[in-house]
Amino acid sequence: MSQAISIFDTTLRDGTQGEGISLSADDKLKIALKLDELGVHYIEGGNPGSNSKDIEFFQRVQKLGLSAKITAFGSTRRKHSVAEQDASLLRIAESGVQAATLVGKSWDFHVHTALGTTLEENLSMIFDSIAFLKQRGLEAIFDAEHFFDGFKHNPDYAVAVLRRAREAGADWLVMCDTNGGTMPAEISDIVSRIRSEIDAPLGIHTHNDCELAVANTLAAVAAGATQVQGTINGYGERCGNANLCSILPSLELKLGYSAIGRDRLRLLTPTARYISEIANVSMPVGQPYVGNAAFAHKGGIHVSAILKDSKTYEHIEPDLVGNKQRILVSELAGQSNVISKAQEMGLDVTSNNDNTRAIMERIKDLEHQGYQFEAADASLELLLRDAFGGLDEVFAVESFKILLEKTSHGMVTEAIVKLRVGQESVYTAAEGNGPVNALDNALRKALLPFYPRINDIHLADYKVRVLDEKDATAAKVRVLIESSDLSSSWNTVGVSGNVIEASWEALLDSIRYALLGMARLESHSGEDALRMRAGVVNH
Amino acid sequence: MSQAISIFDTTLRDGTQGEGISLSADDKLKIALKLDELGVHYIEGGNPGSNSKDIEFFQRVQKLGLSAKITAFGSTRRKHSVAEQDASLLRIAESGVQAATLVGKSWDFHVHTALGTTLEENLSMIFDSIAFLKQRGLEAIFDAEHFFDGFKHNPDYAVAVLRRAREAGADWLVMCDTNGGTMPAEISDIVSRIRSEIDAPLGIHTHNDCELAVANTLAAVAAGATQVQGTINGYGERCGNANLCSILPSLELKLGYSAIGRDRLRLLTPTARYISEIANVSMPVGQPYVGNAAFAHKGGIHVSAILKDSKTYEHIEPDLVGNKQRILVSELAGQSNVISKAQEMGLDVTSNNDNTRAIMERIKDLEHQGYQFEAADASLELLLRDAFGGLDEVFAVESFKILLEKTSHGMVTEAIVKLRVGQESVYTAAEGNGPVNALDNALRKALLPFYPRINDIHLADYKVRVLDEKDATAAKVRVLIESSDLSSSWNTVGVSGNVIEASWEALLDSIRYALLGMARLESHSGEDALRMRAGVVNH
């Protein structure tokens, strides 16, 4: 039997310390549901002592009947006070959680500088606070803040802190690399020494300030820690916390531990992407295991080898973590990338020929202008189908106009479009709360009588990237649009010196793609979008 | 004396395999200059055998007189052929470089599957190719592809590959974790074994597929590797290469090695940011050591402690890597953050009072609407100065209008603005190549007679973020604008359901900030922008 590792997720608490991350109580509930599905053992929901939003979360999460233990976070009692009267500890006890994490100082420097008290009083604060939680029937997890820095400066005191927490009844002693500056060899050494000196379940909590949070976590586990604290996508203050999305697959697939189990590991990629949507933080395209490019292949030689055997350039099967392989089309790509992409689309392209070379040239030329097909599969598919298959035109645009006016009374935006659909000419206008929205509304209004299913299509995301910052607002912009219908999602691109023209181009590609029936059912992100729209929390 | 580690940068070669990264020959030259200033020992410029852009780079880079050794990349000769007639090897020899990196197979599976040849022929390919480069007087670096996977499957063959490369005269034997799937303990073990078996300078080349590239590099160095291959910001295929921006400071500041030297380490943050601008890839805000949030503090308790002593929540002094501390203002922040931010601005705010509480409420309210001041220091400063100091109004906007028209002849965009500057009413119009550009032009035209220095102000970057994707083009958008003049740069924010209105708001803040004389000289990013505009490459 492989050794079990307990997974403690703190996305909802330490993760929200990350720059640009802010979660409502609703957001937190949605994320808690997903974390529970993924199979983490502890979900730290927040700090009921400091935040009324978190109190609401703790009340509502109880009704969801999750398997994971919900935990609340707080600090040890204030100096020279009584735990039973500490407002923050009382709120934890009243929050209805099964477990609580208490953070206490273990670095003598911090006791003096930040707390401004004596080493002995700090030990009493820890003892009293843990003892109080145990009296109230809670599982008590002790997070020893700055443990590794503390140990390096004053090992006796750092060990004394852990011992005192354990004497008070702490169920877990968690060693924190709060400032994220410790090297893996030090982690390994210090955890091993604690393991041999203290008989208690140990945990590890690391930060990524040296890009070593994952390595430090794995080093601590190898040295005997059996609880791992981290966040989804590594969210957290400064450089983030240890990234569970990288730790879980390495524990399960590489190192022989059992954490959430291999079956649930397949939920990892959709969970990471869902939470990044809720947190409204875009995922780095190259995020290990779960990123969109984690199994993407660009170099022509790599692609040829991958087509022979995926193992040549993939360290695991992407499916094991719910991700998938992608072949990128770009200037570095050989023709094998284009052929493989076209074959993926079911086009009958079997070998290099003039057509393939011509379309490669066209793609290179467009990429030179600023188009990027790596993130716009649907625009690429339209391009390839035009070249290899021939596509019917669904409508043609004759002209459009936009009028915006801002006065002291507010803002008005109107769009006027003139289209030809089959033999008919359509001329219509619509308002919107922005120029792209007005255009989108006018276009839909014009096409609806001919294509009623246009009502099912939504624009899910809209991104603008300035291509040459040096020329400021006069620079070229690239617009990427993600669209979805009830069952799938697709991405299109437009490039122009004018943001409206670039948006219009991506909008047209998006609608053409859908009306030509090219939106496919199996898209993962489409399913996610659907789940999001359907909503997962009842309240 | 601390041990010297040789730094081999492959940003220009392996880095360009990253998704969305594409560099022109000009871009590559600019980056090479920066890498040379930083003090890396090798700059791998590209693959002259596969890419005409790279041939141009190698020709032009010779005229720059860099201290770093410029190296070209290529593969071993084709199977059953002669090295002296191999077009790719000949191009390397003719490219004028001092050193070459040859990649060869060291995993038996790859020899069979990808190359389709025998183990013995692969050894001959390696021997002949290295020997050819040595005959031509080049330093030869052998990159053993998939070395760790190869060693795990067939250690004898992997070792035989290294031995054969060394017999042919290879100056460096570099062990590559090409698929990025190896764990640090394995790296440590395998490098130690090679170290004891083969007497040659060893190098390490890792990929980040398990978020362990940095840890694996450090483990290899601890086990005896003295060359580190990596890229700036960790650019590279899939999840990227080992990130030199994280490796260099840990080697120098934490582990006692000497690589580029501590003085040059201070160039790390500006170098990383400059290269991200050239590569047109935004840096993760929480990137270790060099990211904008690497030393940013958000939680109120952390901020109080930081104000007492930075060491409480910073693992190194940010200045050592050319970065700086930032205090974030956000909903999690205590009043100490606002006070500290106001003091940073030189405002006379010394303690909590009604004014501080009122402005905290206002910031919370605006953040709730979607504003984000963490990335818009100038808008925040305007807000704080309005609250604490009182600001004169430089102009007032009465109305604006935008007209866009797209016909078969092209696109026309006009903006009309009506302002009041002092006692005068100004009513003017301008064209632009997009609505924001037209507005910007009209605004400048109206203000120029009153504020001639407006000509020195440029919009350096323009970002649009959709705040609630679920509502598509009708969602709220946040616009972030970065502006710069000759000596500094500043960031402003606007939020609205209408992208034009949001842009207008950020634009007004940007110009107000500059005209009120608040753009400061010491801004780092401003200096970078200046250097970029001045241009560093003569051709």
Question: Could B214 and A211 be called an inter-chain contact, meaning their C-beta atoms sit closer than 8 Å?
Answer: yes
Nearby residues of B191 by Cβ (< 8 Å), 6 or more positions away: B175, B202, B204, B219, B220, B223, B224, B225
State residue A374's pLDDT score: 67
HSE-up (13 A, CA, CB side) for residue B117: 17
Percent of chain B at pLDDT > 70 equals 89
State residue B350's pLDDT score: 65
Nearest CA in chain A to B314: A179
3-state secondary structure B8-41: EECCCCHHHHCCCCCCCHHHHHHHHHHHHHHCCC
Q: Are B337 and B327 in contact (CB under 8 A)?
A: yes
pLDDT digits (tens, 9 = 90+) for A195-227: 999 999 999 999 999 999 999 999 999 999 999
Q: Which two tokens stand for residue B215?
A: 């840890």
pLDDT digits (tens, 9 = 90+) for A225-247: 999 999 999 999 999 999 999 99
B376: number of Cβ within 10 Å? 25
Return d(Cα A175, Cα A144) in angstroms, integer.
5
CA distance B411 to chain A (A): 8
Q: Does B373 touch chain A (CB under 8 A)?
A: no
Q: Are B431 and B414 in contact (CB under 8 A)?
A: yes
Contacts of A218 in chain B (CB under 8 A): 183-184, 212
Q: Which two tokens stand for residue B287?
A: 């990137």
Domain ranges of chain B: 6-279, 296-369, 396-527
Can you tell me whether residue A428 is helix, strand or coil? strand
State residue A531's pLDDT score: 33
State residue B4's pLDDT score: 97
State residue B528's pLDDT score: 39
Return d(Cα B114, Cα B94) in angstroms, integer.
28
User: What is the distance between the terminal CA atoms of chain A, rounded to a whole angstrom?
Assistant: 42
Nearest CA in chain B to A325: B238
pLDDT digits (tens, 9 = 90+) for B327-342: 766 544 556 677 777 7
Q: Are B514 and B533 in contact (CB under 8 A)?
A: no
Using pLDDT thresholds of 50, 70 and 90, give the confidence band for residue B69: very high
pLDDT digits (tens, 9 = 90+) for B482-539: 887 776 778 899 998 888 899 999 999 999 998 887 654 333 333 333 333 323 322 3
Q: Are strands B410-421 and B424-432 parallel, antiparallel or unpaired?
A: antiparallel
Using pLDDT thresholds of 50, 70 and 90, give the confidence band for residue A326: confident
Mean pLDDT score of chain A, rounded to an integer?
87
Return d(Cα B4, Cα B23) in angstroms, integer.
31
Question: Could A20 and B295 be called an inter-chain contact, meaning their C-beta atoms sit closer than 8 Å?
Answer: no
Percent of chain B at pLDDT > 90 equals 59
The residues with which A522 forms a beta bridge, in sequence order, are none
Return d(Cα A270, Cα A321) in angstroms, integer.
9
Return d(Cα B282, Cα B525) in angstroms, integer.
14
- B298, B407, B433: residue with CB nearest A399: B407
Question: Could B238 and A295 be called an inter-chain contact, meaning their C-beta atoms sit closer than 8 Å?
Answer: yes
Return d(Cα B219, Cα B426) in angstroms, integer.
66
- B114, B404, B435: residue with CB nearest A308: B114
Q: Please determine, for residue A516, whether its predicted confidence score (pLDDT) is greater than 90.
A: no
* Interface mutation target, options A179, A413, A473, A491, chain B, most CBs of B under 10 Å: A473
Q: Are B404 and B411 in contact (CB under 8 A)?
A: yes
Q: Does B500 touch chain A (CB under 8 A)?
A: yes
The sign of the dihedral angle between the CA atoms of B253, B258, B262, B268 is: negative
DSSP A315-359: SS-GGGGT---EE--STT--HHHHHHHHHHTT----S--HHHHHH
User: Class assignment of domain A6-279?
Assistant: alpha beta
Using pLDDT thresholds of 50, 70 and 90, give the confidence band for residue B475: low
Question: Could A109 and B18 be called an inter-chain contact, meaning their C-beta atoms sit closer than 8 Å?
Answer: no
DSSP B139-177: EEEEEEETHHHHHHH-HHHHHHHHHHHHHTT-SEEEEEE
Name the burial class of residue A204, with classes exposed (0-12), middle (13-18) and buried (19+) by CB atoms within 10 angstroms of its CB: buried
State residue A181's pLDDT score: 98
pLDDT digits (tens, 9 = 90+) for A426-473: 999 999 988 888 999 999 999 999 998 888 888 877 777 776 544 444
Question: Could A209 and B400 be called an inter-chain contact, meaning their C-beta atoms sit closer than 8 Å?
Answer: no
The number of helices, as runs of H, and strands, as runs of E, in chain B is 19, 16
State residue B333's pLDDT score: 53
Q: Does A117 touch chain B (CB under 8 A)?
A: no
Nearest CA in chain B to A414: B403
Q: Which of A321-325, B178-182, B294-298 has the lowest mean pLDDT?
A: B294-298
pLDDT digits (tens, 9 = 90+) for B197-207: 999 999 999 99
Of B403, B435, B437, B399, the C-alpha closest to B420 is B399
Q: Please determine, for residue B245, whether its predicted confidence score (pLDDT) is greater than 80.
A: yes
Question: Could A243 and B499 be called an inter-chain contact, meaning their C-beta atoms sit closer than 8 Å?
Answer: no
* Interface mutation target, options B252, B499, B528, chain A, most CBs of A under 10 Å: B499
Report DSSP state, residue A453. G
Q: Are A454 and A511 in contact (CB under 8 A)?
A: yes
CA distance B316 to chain A (A): 8
Q: Which two tokens stand for residue A408?
A: 């002291």
Q: Does A276 touch chain B (CB under 8 A)?
A: no
Nearby residues of A435 by Cβ (< 8 Å), 6 or more positions away: A402, A404, A413, A415, A500, A503, B402, B404, B435, B498, B499, B500
Q: Are A268 and B74 in contact (CB under 8 A)?
A: no
Question: Could B280 and A467 be called an inter-chain contact, meaning their C-beta atoms sit closer than 8 Å?
Answer: yes
- A214, A237, A477: residue with CB nearest B299: A237
DSSP B235-270: --STT-B-BHHHHHHIIIIIS--BSS-HHHHTTHHH
Return d(Cα A501, Cα A520) in angstroms, integer.
27
Return d(Cα B441, Cα B431) in angstroms, integer.
7
pLDDT digits (tens, 9 = 90+) for B184-237: 999 999 999 999 999 999 999 999 999 999 999 999 999 999 999 999 999 999
Nearest CA in chain A to B212: A215
* Interface mutation target, options A113, A235, A469, A480, chain B, most CBs of B under 10 Å: A469
Distance of CA B242 to the CA centre of its chain: 13
Mean pLDDT score of chain B, rounded to an integer?
87
CA distance A112 to chain B (A): 11
A residues 317-346 lying closer than 8 A (beta carbon) to B: 328, 330-332
Q: Are A268 and A244 in contact (CB under 8 A)?
A: no
3-state secondary structure B306-353: HHHCHHHCCCCCHHHHCCCCEECCCCCCCHHHHHHHHHHCCCCCCCCC
Using pLDDT thresholds of 50, 70 and 90, give the confidence band for residue B344: confident
Q: Are B379 and B329 in contact (CB under 8 A)?
A: no
HSE-up (13 A, CA, CB side) for residue B217: 33
Q: Which of A498-502, B288-292, B370-374 has the lowest mean pLDDT?
A: B370-374
Same fold, B6-279 and B396-527: no
State residue B519's pLDDT score: 55
Nearest CA in chain B to A244: B211
- B179, B234, B250: residue with CB nearest A315: B179
Can you tell me whether residue B4 is helix, strand or coil? strand
Percent of chain A at pLDDT > 70 equals 89
User: Class assignment of domain A396-527?
Assistant: alpha beta
Nearby residues of B489 by Cβ (< 8 Å), 6 or more positions away: B460, B482, B483, B519, B523, B525, B526, B529
* ipTM field: 0.75
Return d(Cα A201, Cα B92) in angstroms, integer.
58
**Mean per-residue pLDDT, B419-427:** 91
Contacts of B292 in chain A (CB under 8 A): 19
**Mean per-residue pLDDT, B357-374:** 78
Nearby residues of B173 by Cβ (< 8 Å), 6 or more positions away: B142, B144, B162, B165, B166, B194, B198, B200, B201, B202, B203
DSSP B41-104: SEEEEE-TTT-HHHHHHHHHHGGG--SSEEEEEEEPPPTTS-GGG-HHHHHHHHTT-SEEEEEE
